[in-house]
Amino acid sequence: MPRFRLIRQDAVYELIDTHQAQLALRIDFSAAKLQHRATRGGKKELLLRAVGAKPGLRVMDCTAGLGTDSFLLANAGCNVTMLERSKILSILLSDALRANVSNETQQILSRMHLLEADAKDVLLDMKRMGLLTEGQAEPLPDVIFIDPMFPSRRKQALVNGSMQMLQNFVGKDQDATELLALAMQTGCSKVVVKRPANAEALELYKPSYQYVAKANRFDVFLQ
């Protein structure tokens, strides 16, 4: 039996870990905790400050994952293109985007657009097409956001719930440096990378500036 199974429960897709006794993973953008964070966090969210979130800003989230960052950006008025290369996570995200939610939440979800694709392929295509040339029908996003899966922490207790299952399912991202390089090569004027607070900067590029919190930080690259 495979360790992870995608099941349909109460008309909603869930991911279960058959090796550990923990709650199934489902994505719910109407969850009270996320709604509280979206309404009360405001500009205190370093993500929003790093991206420069505002209505109409076009953001490409290269590592959508559970969609939390994309939701917070969309809540701030950004139009977010979510890239997710995992077939299973794409199914969970699609399910959550189609869910029966309040009108207010539905307005936020309408600004989130999911594409099941490897961000490396998308960024490489953007680079090849030269989206900054005159007459290009599809302009570059205003901001490219990259949130690679962090390495497992030494104190496993610090990571729990849905994030722990996501780490176990996805594993550590090995191509974060390549993603940053491709994002910069597209010519996008601003690239933001989320990192553990004490982690070394990714190779090749030096951040223009950073936003640092206790657990993580946002490296901002301008060009």
* CATH label of the domain that carries residue 113: 3.40.50.150
Distance CA 30, CA 91 (A): 17
pLDDT band at 158 (very low <50, low <70, confident <90, very high): very low
CA angle, 168 then 172 then 178, to 5°: 155
**Average pLDDT of span 31-53:** 87
pLDDT band at 190 (very low <50, low <70, confident <90, very high): very high
**Average pLDDT of span 160-182:** 72
The answer to whether 64 touches 35, Cβ cutoff 8 Å, is: no
Please check whether residue 96 lies inside any domain of the structure. Answer: yes
Which one has a higher pLDDT value, 8 or 159?
A: 8
Range of the domain at 130: 29-222
Please check whether residue 3 lies inside any domain of the structure. Answer: no
Please check whether residue 20 lies inside any domain of the structure. Answer: no
Instruction: Give me the pLDDT at residue 55, please.
Output: 97
Residue 156 has pLDDT above 60, yes or no: no
Q: In a 10 Å sphere around its CB, with 0-12 CB exposed, 13-18 middle and 19+ buried, how is residue 89 labelled?
A: buried
Spatial CA neighbour of 86 closest among 111, 71, 64: 64
Please check whether residue 15 lies inside any domain of the structure. Answer: no
Please check whether residue 17 lies inside any domain of the structure. Answer: no
Please check whether residue 64 lies inside any domain of the structure. Answer: yes
Percent of the chain with pLDDT over 70: 81
pLDDT band at 199 (very low <50, low <70, confident <90, very high): confident
Residue 138 has pLDDT above 60, yes or no: yes
**Average pLDDT of span 18-35:** 82
Average pLDDT of the chain, as a whole number: 84
Distance CA 118, CA 154 (A): 29
Instruction: Give me the pLDDT at residue 155, please.
Output: 45
Residue 102 has pLDDT above 60, yes or no: yes
The answer to whether 119 touches 35, Cβ cutoff 8 Å, is: no
Per the structure, the count of domains in the chain is: 1
Please check whether residue 5 lies inside any domain of the structure. Answer: no
State the pTM of this model: 0.86
